[in-house]
């Protein structure tokens, strides 16, 4: 159930080890000729990232990197050759150093270029009809407990990609109009749900046999 997912996610975030830094996203900067350098990264898992670098040279480069300590370490290359890549993320700025190999095949610090790229804003819910509907109001589900008291579950989907259930945070996003949850920001699980209208014309959220209605 939704409650189980949220509580498990919250427990993991609160009690588990520190999460690996998430490098996924699109980063841009201006190059020397006034064009745009674009680096798009995707987290393969908690320790690996891959992507594409364009605008640095005349052809695109495929990036393969590992997350080591507080930074990235890997390569950026194509059929013409490769460059060694290191990177560190501070806030919304990703600093990347691209080094040519020396005669021994090691990074040549004397032939290196530093790029400082800014992360583009991630539109999680703003561009999605489902996301817009989920973030308009909080959602509440009401049910009687065994003791006969009326209980309430309250969900609040934030536009920054977090969701609060009984004050406990987890992470959410909408991909192709499908709601997904994550406990670590890397692995995502789809959540079957449906938005519909009640007989009174009010929107309801149906998931795992429960109905959630908009609430304050």
153 and 100 within one domain: no
* Closest residue by Cα to residue 44 from 26, 18, 65: 65
113 and 31 within one domain: yes
128 and 185 within one domain: yes
16 within a domain of the structure (yes/no): no
The string of pLDDT tens digits covering residues 97-141 is 999 999 999 999 999 999 999 998 754 433 467 788 888 888 888
201 within a domain of the structure (yes/no): yes
Cα atoms in the Cβ-side hemisphere of radius 13 Å centred on 211? 7
> Which residues contact residue 23 at a Cβ distance below 8 angstroms, ignoring those fewer than 6 apart?
41, 43, 49, 67, 72, 87, 89, 94
The string of pLDDT tens digits covering residues 2-42 is 554 444 444 444 444 445 688 988 899 988 788 899 999 98
193 within a domain of the structure (yes/no): yes
Out of 86, 119, 152, pick the residue that ends a domain: 119
Total structural domains within the chain: 2
55 within a domain of the structure (yes/no): yes
What span, in angstroms and rounded, lies between the C-alpha atoms of 195 and 99? 51
CATH number of the CATH domain containing 128:
2.40.128
Q: Residue 36's domain spans which residues?
A: 25-119
What span, in angstroms and rounded, lies between the C-alpha atoms of 138 and 212? 9
* Predicted confidence band of residue 168 (pLDDT cuts 50, 70, 90): low
Q: Which is it for the CA torsion 166, 171, 174, 180, positive or negative?
A: negative
Q: Which two tokens stand for residue 23?
A: 């490098």
209 and 152 within one domain: yes
H/E element, 192: none
179 within a domain of the structure (yes/no): yes
152 within a domain of the structure (yes/no): yes
Q: Which of 43-47, 81-85, 193-197 has the lowest mean pLDDT?
A: 193-197
109 and 84 within one domain: yes
């Amino acid at each position: 159930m939704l409650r189980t997912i949220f509580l498990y996610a919250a427990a993991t975030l609160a009690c588990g080890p520190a999460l690996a830094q998430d490098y996924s996203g699109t980063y841009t900067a201006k190059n020397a000729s006034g064009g745009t350098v674009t680096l798009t990264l995707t987290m393969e898992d908690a320790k690996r990232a891959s992507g594409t670098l364009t605008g640095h040279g005349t052809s695109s480069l495929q990036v393969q990197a590992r997350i080591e300590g507080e930074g990235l370490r890997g390569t950026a290359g194509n059929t013409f050759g490769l460059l060694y890549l290191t990177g560190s993320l501070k806030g919304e700025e990703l600093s990347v150093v691209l080094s040519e190999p020396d005669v021994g095949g090691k990074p040549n610090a004397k032939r290196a270029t530093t790029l400082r790229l800014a992360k583009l804003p991630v539109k999680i819910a703003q561009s999605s009809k489902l996301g817009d509907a989920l973030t308009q109001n909080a959602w509440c589900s009401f049910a009687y407990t065994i003791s006969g008291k009326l209980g309430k579950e309250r969900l609040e989907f934030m536009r920054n990609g977090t969701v609060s259930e009984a004050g406990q945070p987890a992470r959410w996003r909408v991909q192709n109009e499908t709601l997904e949850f994550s406990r670590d920001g890397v692995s995502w699980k789809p959540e079957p749900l449906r938005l519909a209208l009640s007989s009174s014309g009010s929107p309801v959220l149906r998931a795992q046999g429960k109905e959630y209605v908009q609430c304050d």
